[in-house]
Chains A and B, each alone.
Chain A
Amino acid sequence: MPRILTVDDSRAIRMIVSKQLQPLGFEISEAEDGNDGLSKLQGAHFDLVVLDVTMPNLDGPSMLAKMREGGNKTPVLMLTSESKTAIVTMLMRLGITDYVLKPFQGEELKAKVLKALKLPADYTPASAAANPSATPAASAASAAAAPSGGERVLVVDDMENVHKKVRSLMPAQVTLDATLNATEAMTLCRTNKYGLILIDAELPNTNLISVTKQLRLLQTKTVLVAMALRTANNVTGEMREQGFDDVLFKPFTNEAVEALVDRCFLENQDLLSVQENFLRVAGFHGREDKMERYFQRLLAKLKEIVAKLAEACFDSAVLDATALPLAQPMRAAQFMADVARVAADAGVTVRVVGSSEMAAVVGRFEEAKSLCLFQTVEEARAAA
């Protein structure tokens, strides 16, 4: 468990740091000035020091200088209200790892602490237990494979009736935000992740190219769709030139909205995330009549991954299938039988993680019974 020393003369700040970092499973010690900090460092090993600049008795820069003079190379993250270039330059010369300006957001502190400790950005105590060998690179690959915007849609149109119409056509599980102008849309996009953004092609007083560019900066993985009238021959081409991925023609039809939702939330979804030989199935959130397509895509992806594992000489893998939908038990059972067949064909032993309900489903197919089923990832890993 990483050990962190927070050195700050403000008790409140020390408490906030502890409160932010303890849930990550780190052991936090506190010191109220530089002298106290140095004395704590002499008595124990720490993986990181979170250090203030201005403190009584011995300030942060002096403590840091003494640490380095004494050969202590513990990474130091400055947490300070000091932003003067000359002082930060001097701290950098003394070898600080990173810097957080007060007042700060907990998320920024956590991200910089994890980076300083060379832990993955999505690190949790549970993930550490499940995958002790997780590296930052592996985590980055996993993050890249994760679905980006969830099932959240933003509608930007100056007519409220358009908001209502889109809402009426969207599946119930989709969270829909609506706004009348681009400025408000930008604000929403700074705090939320959207899988789909629908924008009126005739939004008043708006340069659509500028808006699509700005939205792309804020929402890197979203699908941008223009809501337009069929006024010209090549509306789709024109909208693509302005930075849109597609066009939804007004007035909307059920079929067009449904196809768009499928494309954004089903076809684009990464159904299987991979970290070396650990595979995790993403859940299904579409309408039930789309489930068959989900299973087909999932199986195709699984075949591809298992073949790659065999090619890389992995003879076993763990498949976390806890998110697999069981609403159609026979179809789920058929899928598990397919998993067993794919694994056997490739010569890879697949240990499946799933609930007791999943175990019951697997039991329905003779072919699927050959799969080794476990309740937790840890159990599956331990059986390797």
Chain B
Amino acid sequence: MKFAEQLEQIVKARIEKDSLTLPALPAVAFKSLELTRATDFNMNDVASLIEKDPVLAAQVLKLCNSAAMATREPCKSISQAVTRLGSKNLRSVLLEISARRIFESRDAKVAATVKALWEHSRAVAQLAQRVAVVSGASDPDTAYLAGLLHDLGKPVVATMLLEAESQIAQRNPKLWIDFPTWIDVVQRCHRPIGLDLARKWQLPEEIQKAIEECADYDPANRLSTGNAVRFANAVAKQQGIYAGSVNADDNDALVMVGRSLLGIDDETLTRLSSDLKEKSKEAA
């Protein structure tokens, strides 16, 4: 059995045995999300909690004052940011920050790849949101979050593969896999892990579905979040905003079907996606 196949078997076996240690949400983010799920939560309680994690607090302020969220006056305190964002946007911001942490690696071999995967996720998020606005597909903010999290399992598998590779390589230093093979294994294994992670993080059902199904559109529910994400994913790949191999024919078919399914004409698609590459870099 080839080394890459061995690694894939190891990953799949761990998935089947459910013996994976999936990354947890940062403790403060998890507790804050828990608080915001209550209908009558107190904004001050959430703000006090976030302030306990200075890195998280700084990231919340940064996102709150970013072009996408900012209002007239920049937010200067967490309490102000939490009030201004509101519960729905605050949840999105906390999840975005938590996901971003998963797409970071100190290992030189995977750092560039997970960064590229994050850029891809940001591009898919931006386009899915725009597609939702134009087509009326679901809620644009949900589409954004679903786009951002659709590949959540990939960095987890990437890290896991790296660990398995290093363990085996200790016994047999001659064994190694090249990058295209390595990323192919990640592509083949990531979806169930992403879904497990989405469940563990208690992501909304719509986002779990978007992570779960990606090969084909759901024609019965044309304007679903999942369809918007699938389409955005294919367009981002078509533009080369991706890390990994792409079956160009299948991908072109996904774009062609998606345009009709979501009612996006050529001119609109060009308008919505012309700055995608730039935006994904900017955001990353």
A contact residues vs B (CB 8 Å cutoff): 81, 83-86, 88-89, 91-93, 98-101, 104-105, 108, 111, 115, 186-187, 190, 205, 207-210, 213-214, 217-218, 220, 238, 241-242
Contacts of A99 in B (CB 8 A): 256-257, 259-260
Closest to B215 in A: A85
Q: Does B181 count as interface, using CB distance less than 8 angstroms?
A: no
Instruction: For the complex formed, measure the closest distance between the CB of A350 and the CB atoms of chain B, giving whole angstroms.
Output: 33
Closest to A115 in B: B266
Complex-state Cα separation, A190 to B264, whole angstroms: 12
Contacts of A207 in B (CB 8 A): 69, 71, 89
Scan residues 13-67 of chain B and give those whose CB is less than 8 A from a CB of chain A: 67
Contact A190 B256 (CB under 8 A): no
Contact B133 A100 (CB under 8 A): no
Contacts of B219 in A (CB 8 A): 81, 83, 101
Contact B265 A111 (CB under 8 A): yes
Q: Say yes or no: A209-B215 contact (C-beta < 8 A), given A83-B261, A85-B253.
A: no
Contact A190 B134 (CB under 8 A): yes
Complex-state Cα separation, A241 to B254, whole angstroms: 37
Instruction: For the complex formed, measure the closest distance between the CB of A295 and the CB atoms of chain B, giving whole angstroms.
Output: 33
Closest to A190 in B: B136
Contact B253 A210 (CB under 8 A): no
Contact A89 B253 (CB under 8 A): yes
23 residue pairs of the A-B complex, CB under 8 angstroms, read A83-B217, A83-B261, A85-B257, A86-B250, A88-B256, A88-B257, A89-B249, A89-B253, A92-B253, A92-B256, A99-B259, A101-B257, A108-B260, A111-B265, A115-B266, A190-B136, A207-B89, A208-B71, A213-B68, A214-B133, A217-B133, A218-B134, A242-B72
Contacts of A115 in B (CB 8 A): 266
Complex-state Cα separation, A100 to B252, whole angstroms: 14
Instruction: For the complex formed, measure the closest distance between the CB of B174 and the CB atoms of chain A, giving whole angstroms.
Output: 39
Contacts of B70 in A (CB 8 A): 209
Q: Say yes or no: A217-B130 contact (C-beta < 8 A), given A88-B253, A209-B71.
A: yes
Contact A217 B217 (CB under 8 A): no
Contacts of A214 in B (CB 8 A): 133, 140
Complex-state Cα separation, A220 to B272, whole angstroms: 11
Contacts of B216 in A (CB 8 A): 83-85
Contacts of A81 in B (CB 8 A): 219
What's the dominant secondary structure at chain A's contact region? helix
Instruction: For the complex formed, measure the closest distance between the CB of B130 and the CB atoms of chain A, giving whole angstroms.
Output: 6
Closest to B222 in A: A101
Contact A105 B217 (CB under 8 A): no
Contact A218 B86 (CB under 8 A): no
Complex-state Cα separation, A275 to B219, whole angstroms: 41
Kindly list 20 other residue pairs between chains A and B, CB separation below 8 angstroms, not including A88-B257, A99-B260, A242-B71: A83-B261, A85-B250, A85-B253, A86-B250, A89-B250, A91-B253, A92-B256, A101-B219, A108-B260, A108-B265, A186-B133, A186-B136, A207-B71, A209-B67, A209-B69, A209-B70, A217-B134, A217-B271, A218-B134, A238-B72
Q: Does B263 count as interface, using CB distance less than 8 angstroms?
A: yes
Complex-state Cα separation, A187 to B68, whole angstroms: 21
Q: Say yes or no: A100-B260 contact (C-beta < 8 A), given A207-B89, A208-B71.
A: yes
What are the nearest 4 A-B pairs in CB distance? A88-B253, A101-B260, A89-B253, A214-B133
Complex-state Cα separation, A220 to B267, whole angstroms: 11
Q: Say yes or no: A92-B257 contact (C-beta < 8 A), given A108-B263, A210-B68, A214-B133.
A: no
Complex-state Cα separation, A86 to B252, whole angstroms: 11
Closest to A91 in B: B253
Closest to B252 in A: A92
Instruction: For the complex formed, measure the closest distance between the CB of B230 and the CB atoms of chain A, giving whole angstroms.
Output: 10
Task: Fill in one digit per residue for B207-245: 1 if any A CB lies within 8 Å of its CB, else 0.
Answer: 000000001110100000000000000000000000000
Contacts of A104 in B (CB 8 A): 260
Instruction: For the complex formed, measure the closest distance between the CB of A79 and the CB atoms of chain B, giving whole angstroms.
Output: 10
Q: Say yes or no: A220-B249 contact (C-beta < 8 A), given A83-B217, A88-B257.
A: no
Closest to B262 in A: A101
Instruction: For the complex formed, measure the closest distance between the CB of A16 and the CB atoms of chain B, giving whole angstroms.
Output: 16
Contact B69 A210 (CB under 8 A): yes
Contacts of B72 in A (CB 8 A): 238, 241-242
Instruction: For the complex formed, measure the closest distance between the CB of B134 and the CB atoms of chain A, giving whole angstroms.
Output: 6
Contacts of A98 in B (CB 8 A): 256
Contacts of B249 in A (CB 8 A): 89, 92-93
Task: Fill in one digit per residue for B251-284: 1 if any A CB lies within 8 Å of its CB, else 0.
Answer: 0111011011101011000011000000000000
Complex-state Cα separation, A238 to B70, whole angstroms: 12
Contacts of B215 in A (CB 8 A): 85
Closest to B271 in A: A220
Instruction: For the complex formed, measure the closest distance between the CB of A91 and the CB atoms of chain B, giving whole angstroms.
Output: 8
